[in-house]
């Protein structure tokens, strides 16, 4: 029976993927027996493999399959704090070694989640999925999982539902804010100040106008928040738990799609077209640090954008690069979605 073998300093992990069969075994392989191809370790053919699931978990536990330094470096490039980066990498390694799904017990910021997905995208062993309580949530709980747990998007979504959404619930802070309007910052300040919890323990805050706000929180923190948050600004609030996350009053984002033809994919060219401003003004905003690409500040106007990038400009909103095509004259037709 044939299988692929992955080399590590302590031996070789061999995976056999045939219909209904998966196995692993550790055996030392002479250096000359390894092929130059890697994914991410050099691999060779193996005639026999073990089909014992328990043995496979032991193999994974004994073998370092995740390039820690490489992942940490990727997270540093998107300005993830070192403390957070180490916590995330340790959880990903735990999921790989123990052959199980491991979820964070804190909410990730957009750049942290984007960086983790980017770092793990090319790895064959471990993936990451997430949920923040609703489809377009900005802050989300992440779950790391062995990729053969969820080879399809539907199964990945199931992992997110089971291991991320199951940790969450929604609270409503209701009060009469007609004469004393409260902003997002006001609600966040009250939540952190009264409960003593860190920002990472709170998900998105949804403002309900003069009626108050809703917030996604971890189930373990719900009682602390309910018992401690009694006032926002000068308004007394009643904190109650919603029946389900589906009761969140999330307004669908207002968007419009536009197309621009540019000579290059420079950030200043694409951004000025998408936000409807002069290129000079766009360059000025970039130099001032007011423009983010994928939630990371960018100060180079000549940086090229790519499909899937999210561009945010302070006071101007957000753009998403939907697609890029080359015209017959060698220019770039860029389709953008602008969030109004």
The answer as to CATH 3.90.550.10 being correct for domain 255-339 is: no
**Residue from 101, 111, 83, 107 nearest 218 by CA:** 107
**In the predicted model, what is the mean pLDDT of the chain?**
84
Say whether pLDDT at 331 is over 60: yes
Distance CA 339, CA 317 (A): 6
Q: Mean pLDDT lowest for which of 46-50, 188-192, 296-300? A: 46-50
User: What is Dmax (Cα atoms) for the chain?
Assistant: 78
Would you state the pLDDT for residue 36?
A: 35
Tens-place pLDDT, residues 81-122: 999 999 999 999 999 888 899 999 999 999 999 999 988 887
Would you state the pLDDT for residue 57?
A: 53
Give, in degrees to the nearest 5, the angle at Cα 328 between 326 and 329. 90
**Residue from 148, 209, 217, 221 nearest 180 by CA:** 209
Quote the crossing angle between the two packed helices 68-77 and 110-120, to the nearest 10°. Answer: 140
Tens-place pLDDT, residues 31-42: 333 333 334 433
Distance CA 119, CA 108 (A): 15
**Residue from 28, 19, 94, 10 nearest 51 by CA:** 19
Residue ranges of domains in the chain? 3-62, 68-163, 168-247, 255-339
Say whether pLDDT at 224 is over 90: yes
* Long-range contacts from 119-123, C-beta under 8 angstroms, 24+ separation: 119/70, 119/71, 119/74, 119/75, 120/71, 120/92, 120/144, 122/40, 123/40, 123/66, 123/67, 123/147
Would you state the pLDDT for residue 124?
A: 75
Give, in degrees to the nearest 5, the angle at Cα 310 between 324 and 287. 105
Q: Please, which pLDDT band fits residue 52 given cuts at 50, 70 and 90?
A: low
Task: Tell me if 131 sits within 8 A of 137, measured CB to CB.
Answer: yes
Q: Please, which pLDDT band fits residue 56 given cuts at 50, 70 and 90?
A: low
Beta strands across the sheet bearing 310-313: 255-262, 332-339, 317-326, 310-313, 291-293, 296-297
Sign (positive or negative) of CA dihedral 44, 45, 47, 48: positive
Angstrom CA distances, 316 to 273, 276, 311, stand at 12, 9, 10
Would you state the pLDDT for residue 68?
A: 85
Q: Please, which pLDDT band fits residue 329 given cuts at 50, 70 and 90?
A: very high
Calculate mean pLDDT across residues 223-227: 96
Classify residue 43 by burial, with Cβ atoms within 10 Å: 0-12, 13-18, 19+.
buried
Angstrom CA distances, 212 to 126, 181, 223, stand at 40, 9, 19
> What is the CATH T-level fold of the domain 168-247, as seen in this structure?
Alpha-Beta Plaits (3.30.70)
The answer to whether domain 68-163 and domain 255-339 are alike in fold is: no
Give start and end residues of each alpha helix (H) in 121-183. 153-163
Tens-place pLDDT, residues 193-204: 999 999 999 999
Say whether pLDDT at 152 is over 50: yes
Tokens 């980017």 sit on residue: 118
pLDDT, greater one: 54 or 207: 207
Torsion, CA 194, CA 196, CA 202, CA 208, rounded to 10: 10
Whether a cis peptide bond, with omega within 30° of 0, leads into 40 is yes
Tokens 């423009």 sit on residue: 291
Quote the crossing angle between the two packed helices 279-287 and 267-275, to the nearest 10°. Answer: 120
Measured in degrees and rounded to the nearest 5, phi and psi for residue 136 equal -100, 25
Quote the crossing angle between the two packed helices 82-98 and 68-77, to the nearest 10°. Answer: 140
Torsion, CA 141, CA 114, CA 250, CA 169, rounded to 10: 0
Q: What CATH number matches the domain at 68-163, 3.20.20.140, 3.40.50.720, 3.30.1370.50, 3.10.450.50?
A: 3.30.1370.50
Task: Tell me if 173 sits within 8 A of 217, measured CB to CB.
Answer: no
């Amino acid at each position: 029976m044939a299988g692929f073998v992955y080399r590590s300093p302590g031996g070789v992990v061999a995976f056999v993927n045939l219909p209904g069969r998966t196995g692993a075994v550790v055996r030392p392989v002479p250096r000359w027996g390894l092929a130059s191809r890697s994914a991410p370790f050099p691999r060779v053919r193996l005639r026999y493999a073990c089909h014992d699931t328990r043995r496979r978990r032991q193999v994974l536990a004994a073998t370092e399959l995740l390039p820690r330094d490489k992942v940490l470096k990727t997270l540093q490039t998107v300005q993830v704090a070192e403390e957070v980066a180490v916590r995330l990498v340790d959880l990903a390694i735990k999921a790989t070694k123990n052959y199980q799904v491991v979820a964070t017990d804190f909410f990730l910021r957009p750049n942290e989640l984007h960086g983790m997905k980017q770092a793990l995208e090319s790895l064959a062993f471990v993936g990451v999925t997430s949920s923040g309580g609703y489809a377009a949530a900005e802050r989300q709980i992440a779950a790391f999982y062995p990729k053969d747990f969820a080879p399809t998007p539907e199964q990945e979504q199931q992992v997110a539902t089971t291991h991320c959404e199951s940790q969450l619930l929604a609270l409503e802070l209701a009060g009469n804010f007609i004469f004393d309007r409260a902003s997002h910052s006001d609600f966040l300040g009250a939540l952190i100040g009264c409960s003593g919890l860190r920002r990472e323990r709170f998900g998105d805050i949804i403002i309900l106008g003069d009626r108050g706000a809703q917030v996604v929180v971890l189930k373990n923190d719900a009682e602390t928040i309910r018992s401690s948050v009694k006032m926002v600004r000068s308004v007394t609030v009643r904190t109650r738990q919603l029946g389900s996350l589906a009761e969140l009053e999330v307004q669908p984002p207002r968007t419009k799609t536009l197309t621009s033809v540019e000579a290059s994919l420079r950030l200043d060219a694409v951004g000025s077209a998408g936000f409807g401003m002069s290129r000079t003004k766009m360059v000025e905003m970039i130099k001032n640090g007011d423009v983010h690409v994928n939630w990371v500040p960018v100060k180079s106007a000549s940086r090229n954008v790519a499909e899937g990038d999210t561009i945010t400009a302070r006071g101007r909103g957000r753009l998403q690069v939907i697609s890029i095509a080359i015209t017959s004259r060698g220019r770039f037709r860029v389709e953008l979605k602008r969030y109004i």
